[in-house]
Structure 1
Amino acid sequence: MTLALTLLCLLLLIGLKIGSVFYIILKLEKGNLNELQSFKELQRNISLQVMKHKNISKENMILSITLQNIATELCRELYKTQKEHKCKPCPEKWLWHEDTCYSLPDEAETWQNSERRCSAWNASLLKIKSESVLEFTQSQRFNYVWLGLSPRQKRDDYMLLKEKINSSDWFTGNTDHLNDKYCYYTDRTYVYDTTCTRKEKFMCDKLADRVKIESTLMINVPEGTG
């Protein structure tokens, strides 16, 4: 009887210990579950904030692009009457067409020196790669102006300038050893070649800067008005 009671007490004690351990584990797991739910909620809130920020950034980008387009178009209108308006994205006395700046014909130089002069302005010799640029240059009535076409070893027949628009001959190489080569120039609607050491006028072209929004959209209000 005594042995049986002792074993029963031991079993009860073991049961209490196991129950206590199970309770502690259950409590810990519940706490972990609450923490996991809190983490997921925090993660969800962060995701919502990120999405909101992305939407705001996208709206700001669209607004910025819209303002830039408005400023550019307004500057083009101002440029029609004020060639040197402060909004113009080209250097002073350079012409502005689409997204490119064009220098006015300068004094006569050899083809090589002309290319070097243009490079010093972060530009290159005149290239005509589209109908729009062709119409623009022809409207300016430029004649005897070097073109940025690659020099050749042999003479070539003259041709219409528009035939060179989609040519792969637009200059991309170096300007060394041109004494025995022929370079191209344009006379309004035609392209001719001549020795590269001959002196002709030259034009440069380069990518226009972005129109500054503040220089176009900000209107100076005279003092004393309101």
Structure 2
Amino acid sequence: MQDEDGYITLNIKPRKPTLSSDDSASSWWRVMALILLISSMGLVVGLATFGIMSVTQQKYLLAEKESLSTTLQQLAKKFCQELIKQTELKTKATFEHKCSPCASQWRYHGDSCYGFFRQNLTWEEGQEYCADQNATLVKAANQRTVEYLAARTTSIRWLGLSRQNSNKDWKWEDGSALRKNVIDLSGNTRGNMNCAYLSKGQIHAASCKDRHYLMCERRAGLTRVDQLL
């Protein structure tokens, strides 16, 4: 094109750069890589969330199972002990049931098995005798236990209760102190009377060198639920 002064004006239009096939492929792979990265991150987050939910669910189910098992065992214990109690009341004799986790000749009450023995021993000898039975002298720490024991024996029997001397507190074999607001020692507790026995529902102090029958106690296992049916 020629202007008025005779010069020619060139009208040159800028051209857009053309992408080579290599540049196009590179851009495409970048996009795909980004998509894959985002997808992978989403998958990882999803799996982590699922894993947390799964572990939480497993813990919940395990806790529920343990709770149900504990409840079943408590019900089975009460039913078994009540069955033994009612049968003894009817027959007026000692009764053993297969549901009891205690060995033969041992009575099932609360969480313990009780053995009543007619060995005439000193308190320390009685303590050793019970230890040989994988047990201890009886801990009658509440009135309910005292009543249970008194209903099953009329003999004087050692308890796992003693003190070092008249200036010391009375303690059970496991080291726990005697709860005076629950059980009071009857009779003279002065001098060398540092061991205790049970007689007719009352706890008395006596010389540890005296000789009496004894009662042993050991922790009961699980009630045999299958034997209740």
Q: Provide the TM-score with structure 1 as the length reference.
A: 0.70
Shift of 1:33: 0.6
Q: Deviations over 1:170-194 (max 9, x none)?
A: 2347xxxxxx884322332141211
Shift of 1:48: 3.6
Pairing of 1:154-169 with structure 2 (within 5 A): 154=166, 168-169=170-171
Structure 1: runs of 5 or more not aligned: 1-7, 157-166, 174-179, 218-226
C-alpha contact (below 8 Å) 2:98/2:224 kept by paired residues: no
Shift of 1:112: 1.3
Say if 2:51 is the partner of 1:38.
no
2:196 paired residue among 168, 175, 184:
184
Q: What is the number of residues matched between the two proteins?
A: 191
SS of residue matched to 1:95: strand
Q: Provide the TM-score with structure 2 as the length reference.
A: 0.69
SS of residue matched to 1:146: strand
Q: Deviations over 1:98-156 (max 9, x none)?
A: 11111114220121111011011121112211121122223234442112122434599
Pick the structure with more strand per residue: 2
Say if 2:220 is the partner of 1:208.
yes
Structure 2: runs of 5 or more not aligned: 1-14, 89-94, 176-191
Report the equivalent of 1:220: none
Say if 2:59 is the partner of 1:47.
no
Shift of 1:53: 2.9
Q: Deviations over 1:32-84 (max 9, x none)?
A: 11111122222333334334433433333333223223322221232121621
Report the equivalent of 1:114: 126
The one-letter code of the counterpart of 1:103 is G
SS of residue matched to 2:32: helix
Deviates more, 1:203-212 or 1:68-77: 68-77
C-alpha contact (below 8 Å) 2:150/2:199 kept by paired residues: no
Identity %: 26
Once residues 52 and 109 of structure 1 are traced to their aligned partners in structure 2, the CA distance between those partners, rounded to angstroms, is 57
C-alpha contact (below 8 Å) 2:114/2:215 kept by paired residues: yes
